[in-house]
């Protein structure tokens, strides 16, 4: 430690003793001094890594806190002991024993916040403020950090490490000045902003400072001329008061110049006058309005600039009456009226002035909501009360860094998988794990305050159903569900396509109503889930098609008792049986209720057999029906003989497929042949053409199989026709 530093240290000790008064006894100061000496003897470095004297910075912080905030006993002890605690020469257990639990708690809070002091906070202002609060828990710790930052800012003018100075300045402006603003610590806030501008844009700062200095004499003279008449009139009204005149801070002027796009002479409200009235609390409002009325009689007020925070105080407890009037020389002057009590609250920040010009709804401001009520009922000093105010609003949030230093806020209990989805949906969807503070962690790891989290991903990874039991945030849950539904829909499309393709090959006509009924019978509430299982090959499409055929042929939800065909109660048609085209049963039973199966569409002359449904009706299938083998294997006891009676005349539908060259007129020629055929009509035709080849599907009404065979032969003779087959 240099001679100059020793002199400043001695001077600071004397000044601090004078400032503290009875808050810390000489005996306690001697104990702190001895502890500091002991730490230095044990190897505690006299200067920090940036060359600043630790002891001087500590005493400056303590003095600034006592002067600008409050000479609180435990806070000043914590400030004085922190270098020893941080340096490892003063264990926390010894602090608790010698100085008490409260001092130890403050030191822990300062330590928790300090270690994140250079983590890209300038670019993560709101989240970093939240992290500070979550780690500190005690409002006094936040105020200590603000004051310490001010002391550092004062000490680094022309420091050789310009990059470090610039980072400290950004942090001061974006973090500590904003917190000071919300706490109502305006002197600290203004100085931090001015110093930040000085270190980040020294040219602009110097220009404005020089211009203000050049006009200081005329400005002071103007303020004096404005105050004089106002003072006389206020005294005539019997008011006891103090008047202060000031010029806006350099940073505030610069912000206005940028916002209004004008030079310094264009800033019309450079002047601000504060009238502080000494009056009992019950007369505060009336005396402030009286003072305002006197001002309004003297000068023209701008109603658009009128701010009444006396009738309805701000939510932070700020009370003041602001008016802007057109003073001498047509210059605008802002005048603020407040009482001594109001001024103390506003100047010292003890009302937690957390929203004044600071925007609404900022999450890091929520913890200050109840301070005013606590202060109004205070019997002890305000800092004594504040030590019990916890940052409960942030008890349900955690803050974690990415490897690049970006800071994210999440709800307490959030897992590594939540963090991945918070970064980006694609990162979450392909997440396989995380590296937290250098150690590999599973997806289920719960994020802790201050963690540095690197997400591991793989292109082969996709969201899984069990992930819904891992995540806790609604964003992650919704994204996982969305991804699972998209995958389920993809599998369902594959499954349904597979079923329909097999049904087409086997010429099984799928009835959607019957299909949905069977799917529900299989235990699936939604068809999407069923087809997704089929698409994932957990349900065999071929086997299910057999089940569908069984279901449609049995037309019953329960398997009937296995009895022979002769024992079935066969339903007979009412009325005459002379026109029956079928003879059914071994004993040539006629007059029965029957229908032709749609899977093979038999017509007169085809070899057929009957299948007895459980309802007693007989379904007629071709012997070479695609489903015949399956029916004979599963239900041989329900098959009954069926023969054509020899009576024709009923027109049935036959299905044929025609393949040929896609020549002009070929379809017309085929249609002409069918139209000329007696007792035949074309019921439906669909044509598909590709690469010069056409494929047509025809439904023809025809009376018997021989006529159909003859028609197919005639169609084959059409020029360009390659193949004609019955389906």
Kindly state the tokens that stand for 421.
């989805």
CA atoms within 13 A of residue 115's CA, in its CB half-sphere: 13
Output phi, psi for 444, to 5 deg: -85, -5
pLDDT (average), residues 648-665: 80
pLDDT (average), residues 109-124: 62
Q: Where in the chain is the domain with CATH 3.30.70.260?
A: 652-726
Q: What is the pLDDT of residue 556?
A: 41
**From CA 720, how far away is CA 689, in angstroms rounded?**
14
For the residues of 79-129, what is the DSSP string, one character each? Answer: HHHHHHHHTTSS-HHHHHHHH-HHHHHHHHHHHHHHTTTTSSGGG-HHHHH
Which is more confident, 42 or 381?
42
* Residue that the structure tokens 């994932």 belong to: 536
| SS3 state of residue 308 | strand
CATH tag for 652-726 (out of 3.30.70.260, 2.40.420.20, 3.40.50.1970, 3.10.20.30): 3.30.70.260
* Residue 138 DSSP symbol: B
pLDDT band at 646 (very low <50, low <70, confident <90, very high): low
**From CA 686, how far away is CA 690, in angstroms rounded?**
14
| SS3 state of residue 72 | coil
Which is more confident, 371 or 153?
153
Weakest-pLDDT range from 12-16, 191-195, 348-352, 523-527: 348-352
Q: What percent of the chain has pLDDT over 90?
A: 12
Q: What is the pLDDT of residue 175?
A: 77
Weakest-pLDDT range from 24-38, 257-271, 340-354, 521-535: 340-354
Torsion angle of the four alpha carbons 545, 550, 553, 556, in this order, in degrees rounded to the nearest 10? -120
On average, the pLDDT of the chain sits at 77
pLDDT tens profile 203-241: 888 888 888 887 778 878 888 888 899 999 999 999 999
Q: What is the pLDDT of residue 309?
A: 82
Q: How many CB atoms lie within 10 A of CB 413?
A: 12
Residues making up the chain, counted from first to last: 727
pLDDT tens profile 268-302: 566 678 999 999 988 999 999 999 999 999 998 88
Q: What is the pLDDT of residue 117?
A: 55
Which is more confident, 279 or 17?
279
Query: Would you say residue 569 has pLDDT above 70?
Result: no
Q: Where in the chain is the domain with CATH 1.10.3210.10?
A: 3-185
Q: What is the pLDDT of residue 647?
A: 62
Q: What is the CATH number of domain 3-185?
A: 1.10.3210.10
Kindly state the tokens that stand for 206.
């110097």
Which is more confident, 139 or 573?
139
Q: How many CB atoms lie within 10 A of CB 636?
A: 11
Q: Residue 427: name the closest of 472, 483, 486 by CA.
A: 483
Q: What is the pLDDT of residue 362?
A: 42
**From CA 469, how far away is CA 472, in angstroms rounded?**
8
Weakest-pLDDT range from 310-314, 481-485, 703-707: 310-314
Q: What is the pLDDT of residue 648?
A: 62
Between the ranges 215-229, 232-246, 387-401, 671-685, where is the mean pLDDT highest? 232-246
Radius of gyration of the chain (CA): 46
**From CA 83, how far away is CA 53, in angstroms rounded?**
11
Q: Residue 407: name the closest of 399, 415, 396 by CA.
A: 399
Residues in contact with 314: Cβ distance below 8 Å, sequence separation at least 6, in sequence order: 353, 355, 356
Q: What is the pLDDT of residue 649?
A: 59
Q: What is the pLDDT of residue 233?
A: 93
Name the fold adopted by 396-472: Ubiquitin-like (UB roll) (3.10.20)
Q: What is the pLDDT of residue 192?
A: 92
Query: Would you say residue 650 has pLDDT above 80?
Result: no
Which is more confident, 316 or 393?
316
CA atoms within 13 A of residue 652's CA, in its CB half-sphere: 21
pLDDT tens profile 145-188: 889 999 999 999 888 998 888 888 888 887 788 777 767 677 88
Between the ranges 187-201, 267-281, 344-358, 488-502, where is the mean pLDDT highest? 187-201
Q: What is the pLDDT of residue 589?
A: 55
H-assigned helices in 237-283: 250-260
pLDDT band at 143 (very low <50, low <70, confident <90, very high): confident
CB 674 within 8 A of CB 680: yes
Extended beta strands in 645-708, E state: 652-661, 681-690, 693-702
Query: Would you say residue 344 has pLDDT above 60?
Result: yes
CA distances from 477 to 444, 467, 469, 483, 525 (A): 14, 8, 9, 10, 23
pLDDT (average), residues 447-460: 87
pLDDT tens profile 407-434: 787 888 899 999 999 888 889 999 999 9
| SS3 state of residue 243 | strand
Q: What is the pLDDT of residue 115?
A: 67
Burial of 36 (0-12, 13-18, 19+ CB in 10 A): buried
CATH tag for 212-386 (out of 2.50.20.10, 3.40.50.150, 3.30.460.10, 3.30.420.40): 3.30.460.10
Q: What is the pLDDT of residue 284?
A: 92
Q: What is the pLDDT of residue 588?
A: 52
Weakest-pLDDT range from 345-349, 380-384, 720-724: 380-384
Query: Would you say residue 386 has pLDDT above 60?
Result: no
Query: Would you say residue 260 has pLDDT above 80?
Result: no
Which is more confident, 42 or 358?
42
Query: Would you say residue 323 has pLDDT above 80?
Result: yes
Query: Would you say residue 550 has pLDDT above 50?
Result: yes
Query: Would you say residue 716 has pLDDT above 70?
Result: yes
Return the bridge partners of 456, or none: 433
**From CA 644, how far away is CA 588, in angstroms rounded?**
10
Q: What is the pLDDT of residue 66?
A: 81
pLDDT band at 388 (very low <50, low <70, confident <90, very high): very low
Q: What is the pLDDT of residue 137?
A: 62
pLDDT tens profile 500-522: 888 888 777 787 778 888 888 87
Query: Would you say residue 355 has pLDDT above 60?
Result: no
Taken in order 9, 10, 12, 16, is the CA torsion positive or negative?
positive
pLDDT band at 577 (very low <50, low <70, confident <90, very high): very low
């Amino acid at each position: 430690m240099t001679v100059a530093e020793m002199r400043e240290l001695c001077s600071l000790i004397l000044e601090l003793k004078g400032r503290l008064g009875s808050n810390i006894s000489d005996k306690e100061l001697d104990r702190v001094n001895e502890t500091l000496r002991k730490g230095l003897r044990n190897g505690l470095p006299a200067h920090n890594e940036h060359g600043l004297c630790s002891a001087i910075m500590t005493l400056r912080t303590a003095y600034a806190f006592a002067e600008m905030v409050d000479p609180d006993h435990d806070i000043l002890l914590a400030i004085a002991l922190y270098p020893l605690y941080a340096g490892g020469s003063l264990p926390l257990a010894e602090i608790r024993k010698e100085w008490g639990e409260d001092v130890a708690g403050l030191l822990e809070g300062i330590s928790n916040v300090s270690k994140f002091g250079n983590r890209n906070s300038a670019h993560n202002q709101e989240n970093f403020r939240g992290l500070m609060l979550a780690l500190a828990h005690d409002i006094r710790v936040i105020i200590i950090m603000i004051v310490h930052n001010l002391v550092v800012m004062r000490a680094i003018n022309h420091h050789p490490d310009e990059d470090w100075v610039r980072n400290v300045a950004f942090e001061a402006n974006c973090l500590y000045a904003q917190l000071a603003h919300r706490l109502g610590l305006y002197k600290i806030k203004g100085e931090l902003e001015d110093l930040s501008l000085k270190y980040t844009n020294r040219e602009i700062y110097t220009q404005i400072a020089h211009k203000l200095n050049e006009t200081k004499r005329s400005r002071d003279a103007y303020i004096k001329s404005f105050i004089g008449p106002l003072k006389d009139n206020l005294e005539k009204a019997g008011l006891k008061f103090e008047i202060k005149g000031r010029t806006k801070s350099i940073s505030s002027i610069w912000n206005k110049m940028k916002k209004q796009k004008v030079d310094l002479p264009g800033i019309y409200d450079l002047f601000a006058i504060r009238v502080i009235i000494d009056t009992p609390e019950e007369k505060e409002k009336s005396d402030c309005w009286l003072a305002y009325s006197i001002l309004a009689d003297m000068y023209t007020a701008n109603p658009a600039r009128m701010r009444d925070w006396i009738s309805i105080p701000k939510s932070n407890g700020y009370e003041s009456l602001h008016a802007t009037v057109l003073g001498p020389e047509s210059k605008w002057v802002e005048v603020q009226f407040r009482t001594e009590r109001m001024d103390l609250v506003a100047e010292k920040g003890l009302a937690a002035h957390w929203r004044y010009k600071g925007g609404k709804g900022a999450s890091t401001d929520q913890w200050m909501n109840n301070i005013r009520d606590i202060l109004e009922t205070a019997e002890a000093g305000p800092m004594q009360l504040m030590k019990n105010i916890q940052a409960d609003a942030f008890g349900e949030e955690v803050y974690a860094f990415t490897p690049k230093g970006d800071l994210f806020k999440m709800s307490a209990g959030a897992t590594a998988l939540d963090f991945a989805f918070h970064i980006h949906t694609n990162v979450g969807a392909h997440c396989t794990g995380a590296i937290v503070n250098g150690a590999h962690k599973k997806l289920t790891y719960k994020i802790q305050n201050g963690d540095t989290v690197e997400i591991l991903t793989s292109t082969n990874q996709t969201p899984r159903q069990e992930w819904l039991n891992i995540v806790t945030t609604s964003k992650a849950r919704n994204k996982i569900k969305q991804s699972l539904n998209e995958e389920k829909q993809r599998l369902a499309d594959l499954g349904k396509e597979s079923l329909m393709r097999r049904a087409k090959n086997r010429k099984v006509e799928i009835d959607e109503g019957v299909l949905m009924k069977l799917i529900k019978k299989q235990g699936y509430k939604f068809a999407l889930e069923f087809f997704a299982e089929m698409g994932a090959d957990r349900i065999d499409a071929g086997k299910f098609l057999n089940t569908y055929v069984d279901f449609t042929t049995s037309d019953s939800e329960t398997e009937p008792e296995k009895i022979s065909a002769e024992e079935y109660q066969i339903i007979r048609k009412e009325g005459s049986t002379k026109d029956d085209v079928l003879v059914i049963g071994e004993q040539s039973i006629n007059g029965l209720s029957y229908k032709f199966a749609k899977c093979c569409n038999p017509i007169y002359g085809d070899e057929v057999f009957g299948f007895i449904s459980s309802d007693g009706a007989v379904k007629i299938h071709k012997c070479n029906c695609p489903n015949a083998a399956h029916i004979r294997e599963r239900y041989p006891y329900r098959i009954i003989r069926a023969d054509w009676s020899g009576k024709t005349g009923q027109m049935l539908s036959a299905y044929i497929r025609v393949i040929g060259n896609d020549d002009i007129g070929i379809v017309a020629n085929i249609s002409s042949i069918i139209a000329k055929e007696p007792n035949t009509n074309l019921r439906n035709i669909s044509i598909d053409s590709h690469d010069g080849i056409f494929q047509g599907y025809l439904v023809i009404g025809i009376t018997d199989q021989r006529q159909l065979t003859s028609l197919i032969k005639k169609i084959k003779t059409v020029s360009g026709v390659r193949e004609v087959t019955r389906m």
